[in-house]
């Protein structure tokens, strides 16, 4: 049989089946049930945030966070161009405008100096996105935000458990969001979480995700809300995944260390650098091809596919795609990285032989 190595795979180590079985046995399968509250409580305590609210996915988590901050039509939000499209789309859902900032060439986090050129009278918030498991320089982001009186929404969809200055990414700004899509560090199939230390933001997110229903008066709606709820089954899976989060992260960090050793000193490839003061959780091991590489990125991906190794291109810059097309975005680093980079398989079920095969095959084509 032809070899096939997926770029991402979920891994179930603990109580997932048992908790799901419990949902079935007790018939609490919809968005009411004990696992919702347990998952939220366990998440806030593990992450060191006062409040955590579950929701149906990571995209609506960002939407809820922005709405809770009062972002609306006429407002601008500073968003990296080099990100997953959900970060920008959520801004649009609010009727606000994402203003794209460039990223740093080494860590790929939002470039605060570029944000400084793009901040204006309508700017209300900045959204650092902790890409591929590596936290942004939150010290720089927080200082910038306080200088311009901006709210900080952390898109932490790709970095559960990563830390900056000893604090969990996603809990440093005003509000942070997570995704539990099937390829993320911990998963619920589809799912999301909003975390904050601010009670009124927590209240607002809870109100909005449940159709705007008054918490004191059932079936009385105080504003137009949404059905953005998570199910008890999703929360059951999430709670089990969260119980083992450290093991999931350690397994990924071990894979990344193996890759590091195999790629170190090679002139044809360059890896994403960890932010100073941060600990990455290595969601996706990511490489750039340098000028020394003997093959283009797209040709390499095709060759690897023939060899049974699935890869992904790095995110296309937001300003290069139809919904946000803008020739004058001024994000040259994002364009450069996006054109030269790829994500290679990073998941817990890779054996050391798989990792050696993947790295060896890549270097065979690039050197």
Ligand X SMILES: *Cc1c(COP(=O)(O)O)cnc(C)c1O
Q: Let me know if 209 is a catalytic residue.
A: no
Interacting residue with ligand X among 31, 57, 361, 366 (CB under 6 A):
57
Interacting residue with ligand X among 44, 54, 59, 268 (CB under 6 A):
59
181 contacts ligand X (rule: CB under 6 A): yes
Q: How far is the CB of 226 from ligand X (least distance, A)?
A: 14
Assigned token pair, 363: 């270097």
CA distance 34 to 37: 6
Q: Residues 116-155 vs ligand X: string with x where CB under 6 A?
A: -------------x-------------------------x
Q: How far is the CB of 184 from ligand X (least distance, A)?
A: 6
58 contacts ligand X (rule: CB under 6 A): yes
Q: How far is the CB of 329 from ligand X (least distance, A)?
A: 18
Q: Which stretch binds ligand X (CB under 6 A): 36-44, 53-61, 165-173, 334-342?
A: 53-61
Best CA proximity match to 11, nearest among 241, 352, 291 = 241
* Strand ranges in 110-202 using DSSP code E only, listed in sequence order: 123-126, 151-155, 163-164, 167-168, 175-179, 192-196
β-partners of residue 279 are 163
Q: How far is the CB of 119 from ligand X (least distance, A)?
A: 22
Cβ neighbors of 135 (< 8 A, separation 6 or more) are: 109, 159, 162, 163, 164, 169, 275, 278, 279, 280
157 contacts ligand X (rule: CB under 6 A): yes
Best CA proximity match to 125, nearest among 92, 103, 149 = 149
Q: How far is the CB of 201 from ligand X (least distance, A)?
A: 19
Say which of 124, 151, 168, 184 is annotated catalytic.
184
Closer to ligand X by Cβ: residue 115 or 293: 115
Q: In degrees rounded to 5, what are phi and psi of residue 342?
A: -145, 155
Angle, nearest 10°, between helix axes 232-243 and 16-26?
Answer: 150
Closer to ligand X by Cβ: residue 131 or 359: 131
Q: Residues 184-223 vs ligand X: string with x where CB under 6 A?
A: --------x-------------------------------
Assigned token pair, 8: 């991402």
179 contacts ligand X (rule: CB under 6 A): yes
Residues 78-107 that bind ligand X (CB under 6 A): 83-84, 86-87
What's the alpha-carbon Rg for the chain, to the nearest Å?
21
Give the largest Cα separation in the chain, rounded.
67
HSE (side-chain half, CA atoms, 13 Å) at 357: 14
Residue 228 · residue 56 · CB < 8 Å: yes
Nearest residue to ligand X by CB is 58
Residue 157 · residue 58 · CB < 8 Å: yes
Residues forming the site for ligand X (CB under 6 A): 57-59, 83-84, 86-87, 129, 155, 157-158, 179, 181, 192
Residues with catalytic roles: 184
């Amino acid at each position: 049989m032809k070899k096939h190595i997926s770029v991402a795979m979920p891994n179930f180590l603990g109580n997932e089946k048992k908790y799901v079985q419990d949902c079935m046995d007790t018939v609490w399968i919809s968005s009411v049930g004990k696992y919702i509250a347990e998952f939220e409580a366990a998440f806030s305590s593990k992450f060191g945030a006062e409040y955590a609210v579950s929701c149906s996915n990571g995209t609506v988590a960002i939407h809820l966070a922005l709405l809770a901050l009062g972002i609306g039509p006429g407002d601008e939000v500073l968003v990296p161009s080099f990100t997953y499209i959900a970060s920008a789309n959520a801004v649009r859902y609010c009727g606000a405008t994402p203003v794209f900032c460039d990223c740093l060439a080494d860590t790929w986090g939002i470039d605060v100096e570029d944000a400084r050129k793009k901040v204006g009278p309508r700017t209300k918030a900045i959204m650092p996105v902790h890409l591929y498991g590596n936290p942004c320089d939150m010290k720089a982001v927080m200082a910038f935000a306080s200088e311009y009186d901006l709210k900080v929404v952390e898109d932490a969809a790709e970095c559960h458990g990563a830390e900056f200055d000893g604090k969990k990414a996603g809990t440093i700004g005003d509000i942070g969001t997570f995704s539990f899509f099937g390829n993320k560090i911990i998963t619920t199939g589809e799912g999301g979480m909003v975390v904050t230390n601010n009670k009124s933001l927590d209240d607002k997110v809870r109100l909005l995700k449940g159709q705007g229903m008054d918490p004191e008066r059932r079936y009385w709606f105080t504003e137009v809300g949404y059905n953005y709820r998570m199910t008890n089954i999703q929360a059951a899976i999430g709670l089990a995944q969260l119980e083992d989060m450290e093991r999931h992260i350690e397994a990924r960090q071990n894979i990344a260390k193996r890759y590091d050793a195999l790629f170190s000193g090679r002139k044809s490839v360059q890896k994403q650098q960890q932010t100073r003061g941060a600990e990455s959780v290595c969601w996706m091991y990511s490489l750039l091809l340098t000028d020394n590489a003997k093959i283009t990125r797209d040709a390499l991906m095709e060759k690897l596919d023939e060899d049974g190794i699935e890869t992904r291109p790095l995110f296309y810059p937001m300003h290069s795609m139809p919904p946000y097309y803008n020739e004058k975005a001024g994000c040259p680093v994002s364009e450069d990285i996006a054109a030269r980079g790829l994500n290679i398989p990073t998941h817990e079920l890779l054996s050391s032989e798989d990792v050696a095969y993947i790295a060896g095959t890549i270097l065979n084509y690039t050197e």
